[in-house]
A = this chain, B = another copy of it.
Amino acid sequence: MSVENLRSLWRDGKPVRGAWQATADSFITEILAHSGFDVLVLDMQHGMAVSLECAARWLEAVGNTDVAALVRVPWNDPFQIQSVLDAGADGVIVPLIGSVADAIQAVGACRYPPLGMRSWGPNRAHLRHGLDYQTWANEQILCLALIEHVNAVKQIDEIVGVPGLDGFFIGPNDLGLSLGLAPGQFDARHAAACRRVLDVGRSHGKVVGYYGGGGPDEARLRVTEGFNFCPIVHDVGLIQEGAARAIRDFAAS
């Protein structure tokens, strides 16, 4: 069970190797899924025109492997969550969780009654996860709250208590914007806010992730700080930075 693999890494305190995707090209997805990552994340919020149809095709491509497949849905919208879970996602990262009510809505869309309000119809999930899906989906499918505003940080003690929420994921740029910082610019208040999310989450036994786009170096740093889910590559970044480096190297002759 792909999601159980990921959960067991977390239980064992092992580092998780993740890749972030902003395109849904299925060949790139398969390449990444065969590269040794433990989890791939499809970014529907700020990826390049990633529709639910693209997400389904992405899930098919990941489906050739045991790699866990998470989707950052574009909005805290139950239909979007339901749709990617039906199509076989191992979990979701849900944007714009600013309050307990937001978190309850996000979790509710991930859990069948009586825990939540997810509607029955696990079409491709039955193929990826097996016919016993209903017996464990409510416990295993991951629901992570994207924390991307200082107001969410202020309510983090309440949000962490929402039953069924598996953890937090920090979006540092938007968090910075909410503190009056420019994109990519971080200060002590920002660090304190991140630290607070981390402490509250970890002390409640939750997963806490962070994605800064800084590659393996930053990912290692965040792991050292205590985060347990820090993607180490971004597909567009690999292209963009790899191309820039190659042009420099070629010119250096």
Contact = CB atoms under 8 A, between A and B. Distances in A.
Nearest to A175: B120
Interface of A is mostly: helix
Contacts of A53: 49, 51, 53-54
Given A46-B119, A56-B48, A233-B242, A36 B247 contact: yes
A101 interface: no
Interface of A: 15, 17, 19, 22-23, 25-28, 30-32, 34-37, 45-49, 51-57, 60-61, 63-64, 74-75, 77-79, 83, 86-87, 95-96, 112-114, 119-121, 123-124, 127-128, 134, 148, 171, 173-174, 177-178, 180, 182-183, 215-217, 219-220, 223-224, 232-233, 235-236, 238-244, 246-247, 249-251, 253
B25 A25 contact: yes
Most buried by B among A22, A23, A54, A64: A64
A75 B75 contact: no
